[in-house]
Structure 1
Amino acid sequence: MNNRSRFVPPLAAALLLGAALALYFLWPESDAGPSDREMPSTTVSPASAPASPAAARAPQPEPVKSEPVKSEPHAVAAEGPRATEVPIGPGDVVPEPEVANPPPQQNDPIEPEKPQTAEWKHGKLVRITELLGRDVERLEQEREAAEASGNKEEAKRLEVQLARHRARLDKLHEQKAALAGQASQEKAE
């Protein structure tokens, strides 16, 4: 591991942290009122100082801290923009409110798995063989088009793919013939 890769992640993290702290402390605050971080400063004037030491020891009533009261329009503005409200027209259906814990939904019963008989396997092999045959025809057309356009690399690649598909198709034909015999025996029984 080289030295550069040892220093880049911590340096990037430090720069990101520094940028976040700079934004936090230097971002202008809103003029809506005093923030929760600011504490009101209290000053004592010499005229309001207690005259006797006994009065100085007496508990002073603490000033009542009042929370800023948010009226409804300000609360909405603080939350951010809301979706556009459209009046309900005739024929509109009002959706029901979402329920916190909806009742469990009844699932459809699970159908038992169908037996994988020789006839079923034969049907699947017939379909796979049909699809692979279509792919072989498509690849032959693409290879001919590549040869006609002079793209020898593409033609060679398609020829290799065609050889693989044809080998697989031959194996499927053999399996299909074997399963056709098994399927006919199952029908007879």
Structure 2
Amino acid sequence: MRIRYRLILTGAGVLVVALGVVEFWPQPEPEPLPAALLAMAVPPPPPPPVQPPRMVPVKAHSVAPPAPAPRQEAPQVTVARMAPEPMVPEPEVPEPEVPEPEVSFPPPEDNDDIEPELPQTAQWELEKMARLAALVERDVVRLAREREDAVARGDVQRGEQIDALLQRNLGQLRELHDEVRRLAEVVNGVAPAD
């Protein structure tokens, strides 16, 4: 952003300097006009004023009033609007064909072979279930604390919501403990007791 403002300010400064130079640049003195042009440039003196004609009194009934001139009507001229000339479309000039640059792609590489999945042994499943059980136990402890805090504050609605979550996690935890017990018996070679 700072660079943009600096560029704007620099451009404005250059514009101000250029306008100042043009405004205060000394103007060349105009060349004097030749005498012939000066004589033509000076207007001739005005003609002497014309004396108004003398008025002669005329008797009223001796001369008939002049007949009015026949009234001539100006010829009526009708102006027709001209329609605009139709625009002739310019012929389309095909654009010159630009050859596309040749792009060479490297040959496809062979993908690495996918390693086969390690066997999911009973020991592996036991460790997985034990880890899940530990995470759910941690959530159960946290939810029990939050429920106690909500009840202590008097927030009954929040306490009921947390209690529903706690009951669901406790059910999940029981199922995980049962699965851990079954897997421990399989790993230790003891047949599960049903």
Q: TM exceeds 0.5? A: no
Q: Bin the TM-score by the shorter chain.
A: 0.3 to 0.5
Q: TM-score, normalised by structure 2?
A: 0.43
Q: TM-score, normalised by structure 1?
A: 0.44
Higher relative contact order (CA 8 A, sep 6+): 1
Structure in which a larger fraction of residues adopt helix: 1
